Structure 1
Amino acid sequence: MPGDLQQPEQQAAPPAGSRLRRVLRAGAQTPGREEADLIAQEVPVALEYNGISHATLLATPHDLEDFAFGFSYTEGIIRSARDIYGVDIVDGPQGFIVQIDMASACQNQLKLRRRSLAGRSGCGLCGIESLDEVRRELPALPAQQGALSARAISSAVDQLRSLQPLHLATGATHAAGWADRDGNIQCVREDVGRHNALDKLIGHLIRSSMDPSQGIAVISSRASFEMVQKAAAAGIPALVAVSAPTSYAVQLADELNILLAGFARSSLFTVYSHPEYLSTPGNTP
């Protein structure tokens, strides 16, 4: 019977966030055979702020400190990375508890963005208690007339494909990468949830004192409304997705001054919002 598989010492360790499992390969005209396979981890991750439970989401238990910072920042709970004094990660029998020690001045923001204690990896809005909480009031970003190039966007997309070790091993995760204005990917984060991957990326950016406004976010998923909202909250002026955007995502990108592109594959992509940000708008698909 298929089951968890112990990693042999002579084999290379699997990517962080994955586990080996023995599976049965079978087909209608193929003899079944057992072999080892890698699967992505998806576990409950509970966030606690100053000892108070706030939300539980399903996530990949890797880069959880980045996740704590990014989620807190894009949710408007903290104002900067300096508002978090420390993060402790507790591995419990049912999942992980991320204990966040933050400035007491942020307690009110925590109450305003309070969620229920259950969430899903595929939906960034699970647990929101009313329609008024769906969209945050965010200022529009400064315009970026002619600041980006089509070549840089295509280069970043091409690089992202090879910088997803967990996805390459399991086929089950999303990635969010940040590239500089020349299209050079500087960091990538992965997770089973696309919102979580972007939060991890943003958390890394603010912890590293990198300037999110000086680059491009590239995501391996569709561009939903909340992905645009998270990019805007972090000050990222361009969001590029390998899949399609939604109508609400396009509307929000229009209003918050974010270049939003989708179907980014090979050297082609489709710009839905603010094509004037490209230095060569005539070359856009």
Structure 2
Amino acid sequence: MSSMSYQYVNRQRYRLTPEGTVDLRLSEDIVISEEPLNIVLHWNCPKTGKQLEKPLMVTMRTPGQDAFLVTGLLLSYAIIHHAADIEKISCEEHNQCDVYLDKHIQFDWKSLSRQFVSHSGCGICGANDVKKLAHTFTHNIDDKTHWLSINQLLSLSTKLREQQALFTATGGVHSAGIFTVDSCLSVQEDVGRHNAVDKVIGELLQQSLLDNQNILMLSGRVSFELMQKAVAANIPVVVAIGAPSSLAVSVAKQFNITLIGFVSEYTFNVYHGDFRLIKAQC
């Protein structure tokens, strides 16, 4: 747990005693850090070959693992498709990441810039239609059957919780983890749930660990934007402690992703794709 990720603040703690009086105590509390991150793109103009530089967006995030966040974000917008599409990421300037794209990367800047909104809860704004999503991502999600057991699935919420150091300290963050049936590959935490997913996907993309049988585990609800990130990363199973939205279910059906909500130690709901589950338990 990085010291950049949290801060100490003064607090007044009020408690109503059994006698009906108010007990007031002054103390310190740990709160999650929230700071802006300016993301600046550097790329070559396809017509002139001249290097261009423009600020892409400002997002509010918990400092730490910024390069992972940026990598996952660019993947979810289909600006990149592989880690090699990024020449380098420089985070030397405070609260800024300069992203240098490989020379072959081309995109429509005007179309791209319209999609971004500068706040920590932003998703893929302007892409709230499943048909548009299908035009952006045309790859097929792996449809292998019967590879995730019920016992393995039910263990995910506990495994994610065990890795939530920032949540334990502050109670103020979202988390996302990527698992295989055998192991936890990565867990990331952030004040923004979209950022947590970008960080965990970006980390595995950089390490070439994204696989067609990965499982994305979320600490909260499932929105359209989070499903889009799963689609971009070719993740076939999305599991959440909370509920899915209607558009999240639509994306699951469109791309044949197994979508599971309200998972706990003993129960879960399947909204699509139960063919990946091993239903017979020993």
**TM-score interval, smaller chain:** 0.7 to 0.9
Once the two structures are superposed, what CA deviation does each residue of 1:144-201 show, in whole Å capped at 9, x if it has no partner?
Answer: 311211211112221101101111111110000011123x222101111111100100
The answer to whether 1:173 aligns with 2:173 is yes
In 2 relative to 1, CA 259–130 (structure 1 residues): closer, same or farther, beyond 3 Å?
Answer: closer
Q: Is the 8 A contact 1:77 1:109 kept in 2?
A: no
Gaps of 5+ in 1: 1-12
Once the two structures are superposed, what CA deviation does each residue of 1:18-74 show, in whole Å capped at 9, x if it has no partner?
Answer: 111121112454322111111111111111111311111111111101011111111
**1:134 shift after superposition:** 6.7
Alpha-carbon separation, structure 1, partners of 2:208 and 2:258: 23
1:26 to 14, 39, 42: 14
Q: Partner residue of 1:7?
A: none
- What one-letter code is carried by the residue in structure 1 that aligns with 2:262? F
In 2 relative to 1, CA 205–111 (structure 1 residues): closer, same or farther, beyond 3 Å?
Answer: farther
Q: Give the structure-2-normalised TM-score.
A: 0.86
Once the two structures are superposed, what CA deviation does each residue of 1:256-275 show, in whole Å capped at 9, x if it has no partner?
Answer: 01100000111211110111
In 2 relative to 1, CA 178–263 (structure 1 residues): closer, same or farther, beyond 3 Å?
Answer: same
**1:123 shift after superposition:** 3.1
Alpha-carbon separation, structure 1, partners of 2:128 and 2:253: 24
Q: Partner residue of 1:107?
A: 106
Q: Is the 8 A contact 1:18 1:40 kept in 2?
A: yes
Once the two structures are superposed, what CA deviation does each residue of 1:111-146 show, in whole Å capped at 9, x if it has no partner?
Answer: 5422466422223135x4997997362234121311
In 2 relative to 1, CA 237–116 (structure 1 residues): closer, same or farther, beyond 3 Å?
Answer: closer
Q: Partner residue of 1:56?
A: 58
**1:214 shift after superposition:** 2.5
- Residue pairs, 1:76-91, within 5 angstroms: 76-91=78-93
The answer to whether 1:35 aligns with 2:18 is no
Alpha-carbon separation, structure 2, partners of 1:208 and 1:251: 30
Q: Partner residue of 1:45?
A: 37
Alpha-carbon separation, structure 1, partners of 2:128 and 2:275: 36
**1:217 shift after superposition:** 0.8
Q: Partner residue of 2:204?
A: 205
Q: Partner residue of 1:154?
A: 154
Q: Is the 8 A contact 2:59 2:119 kept in 1?
A: yes
In 2 relative to 1, CA 105–133 (structure 1 residues): closer, same or farther, beyond 3 Å?
Answer: farther
The count of aligned residue pairs is: 265
Gaps of 5+ in 2: 43-52
Give % identity: 31
The SS at the match of 2:212 is helix
Q: Partner residue of 1:10?
A: none
Alpha-carbon separation, structure 2, partners of 1:53 and 1:35: 41
**1:276 shift after superposition:** 1.1
The SS at the match of 2:253 is helix
Alpha-carbon separation, structure 1, partners of 2:114 and 2:58: 9
Alpha-carbon separation, structure 2, partners of 1:14 and 1:178: 20
In 2 relative to 1, CA 100–273 (structure 1 residues): closer, same or farther, beyond 3 Å?
Answer: same
Alpha-carbon separation, structure 1, partners of 2:67 and 2:2: 21
Q: Is the 8 A contact 1:243 1:264 kept in 2?
A: yes
CA RMSD between the two structures: 2.3
- What one-letter code is carried by the residue in structure 1 that aligns with 2:9? R
The SS at the match of 2:242 is coil
Q: Which moved more, 1:240-249 or 1:81-90?
A: 81-90
Q: Is the 8 A contact 2:4 2:33 kept in 1?
A: no
2:133 to 108, 121, 135: 135
**1:211 shift after superposition:** 2.8
